[in-house]
Chains A and B, each alone.
Chain A
Amino acid sequence: MNMFAHELRMNRKSALLWAVALAGVACLFMAMYPTFAEESESFKEVLRSMPEEMLAAFGLQIDAIASLLGFYSYVFLYISLCGAIQAFHLGASMISAETRAKTADFLLTKPVTRGAVLRSKLLSALTILVATNAVYFGVSAAMASFVKRETFSLSAFALINVSLLLTQLIFLMLGFALALLLPRLKTVLPLSLGVVFALFMLSAIGASTGDGKLRYLTPFQYFDRAYIVRHESYEPEFLAAGAAVIAVCALFGAIRYLKRDVHVG
C-alpha cells in the first residue's frame, strides 16, 4: 500500500496535467462543432475535392461528419493519440523509474518482493488512467450535450469514450514491456513519442489503403468508431487482439522484471 501511494504521489502532477489537457482538447474541438455543423454543406464540398485515400487516412467520413457523433468520431482520433502518449509514457517511465534515477538500490533492498513492487506500480498506473478517463468522460459528455443540435446515441458516445481507456491500457502495457526490453533506457519521452507516432502513422496508412491485416498491427485501429456508431458495440476480434497484446506484454514484462539483475549506473 505504501508503494502504491508513493507511485501515485510521484505521478500525480503529470496525471492531472494530462487529464486537463485531454478534456481541454475535447472542449476545444467540440466548441467548433456548432459553426461546423451550420456550414457543413460547403465543408463537405471541400472534402469531396480531396482524394479518397487522404480522407480515409484522416478517418474522415463525409456522410457522417455533420452529425455530432460523426464529428466526435473524427476528433477522437487526436484524443486517442494524446491518450496513447500519456499511457505509453506512464507505463515506460513508471517501470524504468528505479533504473533511470538509480533508486533501485533503495526500493529493491527493502523487505518486499519484486512482484509486490510490480503490482503496486501497475495498480497505480491503472488508477491514474481510470481517473484521467473519468475526468475526460465527464467533461466531454457535458460538452457534447451542450453543443448538440439533435439527440444522439448516448451508448455509442459512451462506447467511443470507453475505447480511450481500452486503447490506453494497450499502450500502457506496450510502454511497460518496451521499457523492460531496453535495460539502459535513460529518457522515456523520445521513445514514447517515437513509438506512438509510428503506430499512428501505420494506422493512417492502413486506413488509407484499406488493408484489413494491417489493422491488427496498430492499436489505433482496434476501435473503429464508424463501426461503433453503426453497431453500438466493439468488434470482438479486435477486442481479443487488444487483450492478447496486453497479456503478452504483461507476461514478458513481468518475467523480465522479476529475473533481471539490477546494476549500478
Chain B
Amino acid sequence: MNVIELNGLTKTYGGARGIADLSFTVEQGEIFGFIGPNGAGKSTTIRTMLGLIHPTSGSAKIFGKDCLRYGPELRREIGYLPSEVFYYDNMKVKDLLNYSASFYNKDSRKRMLALAERMELDLNKKIDDLSLGNKKKVGIVQGLLHEPKLIILDEPTSGLDPLMQQRFFELLEEENKKGATILFSSHILSEVQRLCDRVAIIKEGRLIALEKISDLKGRTYKKFKLQMKAGSDATPFAIPGVTEWKTAPNGEVSFLYQGDINDILRRIASLELLNLWVEEPDLEEIFMHYYVSREGAGV
C-alpha cells in the first residue's frame, strides 16, 4: 500500500518556483529519504502534504486520501517534526505536550514520560528557557507522542548532539519496526544513508533521482583514485560515465564512474600507476554529481 502518493505536485509563488511536477510514492513500512540542497523545495513538499500550503496543481495523497480534503482526519495519524521548532514560549514543556496530546483521542501520559526519559528532556522547564537542542527534543516527543503511522521529519537532527541523534535514530527504527512509515528530509546525506531504504533527490523543485540506497551506493557508482607515474593524463578517461574529474598537485586523480567496470579497468591497465584505490562513493559525492552534472547541462 502506498502511504504517500504525490502526483504532479506543483507549487509556484507568483513567478518564483516552489516545486514543479513532483511525483513519487512511499510505501508502507519504508524509511524514505528526501534529499536536496537548501531551497530545493523539500519543505514546500512536506508542508503541502500537511495541508499548510495549497498546491498550484497536482495532488498529494496520504493513506490513499487527498491531503487537502481529508486533512484533519489524515493528520490524526501523522507525526510531524519541523526543521525549526517553535512553541508557545511561556508554557512549560509538560503543559505543551499535554496540549499537543489533547488533540488526539489517546491517553499518552505514560508514553510522554517514557519518551521524555529516553531523550533526557526535563518536563518541568519553561519552553522559553530551553536550548535549541532541547526544543528539538520537545519536538521529537511531541511528534511521536500519539504513535503516528506516518512520521514526517524535516531536517530533524539540527541542534541535537551525536548521542541524542543516536537515540533519536533508535527511536525511529523502533517505530518503523512497529509499522510506522517515515519520510526523512535532509541535506545531511550520511544520516539518510544509515536509516533509509529509498531516497528521492530533489533539486530546484524537481525530482532528479529516485533510487534504492543500496543501488545508489553499490551498483551505480564507483569512486576511483589513482596515482600515475608520468603525471596526470586525462585522455584515456574521456569516456561517458566519468564524472567529478579532479586532479591533485601530487599527480593523483580521482573521479566517479558509472558504467561497465571492465571498460574502465582496461583503460587503467594501459597506464603506469603508482597506486590505485577503488571505493564506494558516499552519498555526498553522488549527490554533488547530480548537482554538478545538471548544472553543467544548463538545466
- The answer to whether B47 and A106 have CB atoms under 8 Å apart is no
Query: How far is A2 from B90 in the complex, measured between Cα atoms in Å?
Result: 17
CB-defined contacts of B87 to chain A, threshold 8 Å: 103, 106
- The answer to whether B82 and A2 have CB atoms under 8 Å apart is no
Q: Render A1-30 as a binary contact track against B, CB cut-off 8 A, 1 for contact.
A: 010001000100000000000000000000
Query: How far is A120 from B78 in the complex, measured between Cα atoms in Å?
Result: 23
Known A101-B89, A111-B75; contact A264-B99, beta-carbon cutoff 8 A: no
Q: Classify the interface of chain B: helix, strand, loop or mixed.
A: loop
Q: Classify the interface of chain A: helix, strand, loop or mixed.
A: loop
Q: Render A251-265 as a binary contact track against B, CB cut-off 8 A, 1 for contact.
A: 000000001011111
- The answer to whether A111 and B51 have CB atoms under 8 Å apart is no
Residue of B nearest to A104 (CB): B52
Q: Does A108 contact B (CB under 8 A)?
A: yes
Interface size on A, residues (CB 8 A): 22
- The answer to whether A111 and B103 have CB atoms under 8 Å apart is yes
Q: Does A102 contact B (CB under 8 A)?
A: yes
Q: Does A109 contact B (CB under 8 A)?
A: yes
**Which of A6, A108, A109 touches B99 (beta carbons < 8 Å)?**
A6
CB-defined contacts of B53 to chain A, threshold 8 Å: 261-263
Query: How far is A67 from B50 in the complex, measured between Cα atoms in Å?
Result: 61
Known A2-B99, A110-B103; contact A105-B71, beta-carbon cutoff 8 A: no
- The answer to whether A110 and B75 have CB atoms under 8 Å apart is yes
- The answer to whether B86 and A262 have CB atoms under 8 Å apart is no
Q: Does A50 contact B (CB under 8 A)?
A: no
- The answer to whether B88 and A101 have CB atoms under 8 Å apart is yes
Known A10-B88, A101-B88, A102-B84; contact A108-B104, beta-carbon cutoff 8 A: no
CB-defined contacts of B100 to chain A, threshold 8 Å: 106, 110
B252 to A: closest C-beta gap in Å: 43
Query: How far is A102 from B72 in the complex, measured between Cα atoms in Å?
Result: 20
- The answer to whether A105 and B103 have CB atoms under 8 Å apart is no
Q: Render B156-187 as a binary contact track against A, CB cut-off 8 A, 1 for contact.
A: 00000000000000000000000000000000
- The answer to whether A109 and B50 have CB atoms under 8 Å apart is yes
Q: Does A112 contact B (CB under 8 A)?
A: yes
CB-contacts of B98-139 with A (<8 A) = 99-100, 102-104
**Which of B72, B88, B90 touches A111 (beta carbons < 8 Å)?**
B72
Tell which of B76, B84, B99 has the most Cβ of chain A within 10 Å.
B99
Q: Does A113 contact B (CB under 8 A)?
A: yes
CB-defined contacts of B75 to chain A, threshold 8 Å: 109-112
Q: Does B80 contact A (CB under 8 A)?
A: yes
**Which of A6, A102, A259, A263 touches B86 (beta carbons < 8 Å)?**
A102
Query: How far is A104 from B85 in the complex, measured between Cα atoms in Å?
Result: 10
Known A101-B89, A103-B86, A109-B78; contact A262-B72, beta-carbon cutoff 8 A: no
Query: How far is A108 from B47 in the complex, measured between Cα atoms in Å?
Result: 10
- The answer to whether B99 and A105 have CB atoms under 8 Å apart is no
Query: How far is A105 from B152 in the complex, measured between Cα atoms in Å?
Result: 12
Query: How far is A35 from B185 in the complex, measured between Cα atoms in Å?
Result: 72
CB-defined contacts of B65 to chain A, threshold 8 Å: none
Query: How far is A259 from B68 in the complex, measured between Cα atoms in Å?
Result: 11
Q: Does B10 contact A (CB under 8 A)?
A: no
- The answer to whether A111 and B76 have CB atoms under 8 Å apart is yes
B72 to A: closest C-beta gap in Å: 5
B231 to A: closest C-beta gap in Å: 51
Q: Render A184-216 as a binary contact track against B, CB cut-off 8 A, 1 for contact.
A: 000000000000000000000000000000000
CB-defined contacts of A265 to chain B, threshold 8 Å: 84
CB-defined contacts of A109 to chain B, threshold 8 Å: 50-52, 75, 78, 80
- The answer to whether B52 and A105 have CB atoms under 8 Å apart is yes
CB-contacts of A100-129 with B (<8 A) = 101-106, 108-113, 116
- The answer to whether A264 and B43 have CB atoms under 8 Å apart is yes
Q: Does B54 contact A (CB under 8 A)?
A: yes
**Which of B50, B52, B103 touches A112 (beta carbons < 8 Å)?**
B103
B19 to A: closest C-beta gap in Å: 13
B36 to A: closest C-beta gap in Å: 16
- The answer to whether A111 and B104 have CB atoms under 8 Å apart is yes
Query: How far is A152 from B100 in the complex, measured between Cα atoms in Å?
Result: 53
- The answer to whether A105 and B82 have CB atoms under 8 Å apart is yes
B282 to A: closest C-beta gap in Å: 29
CB-contacts of A218-265 with B (<8 A) = 259, 261-265
Q: Does B73 contact A (CB under 8 A)?
A: yes
Known A103-B88, A111-B104; contact A262-B47, beta-carbon cutoff 8 A: yes
- The answer to whether A2 and B102 have CB atoms under 8 Å apart is yes
Residue of B nearest to A6 (CB): B99
CB-contacts of B34-68 with A (<8 A) = 43, 47, 50-54
A-B contact pairs, 10 of them (CB 8 A): A2-B103, A102-B84, A103-B88, A104-B52, A105-B85, A111-B73, A111-B74, A111-B103, A111-B104, A261-B53
Q: Interface of B with A (CB < 8 Å)?
A: 43, 47, 50-54, 71-76, 78, 80, 82-90, 99-100, 102-104, 142
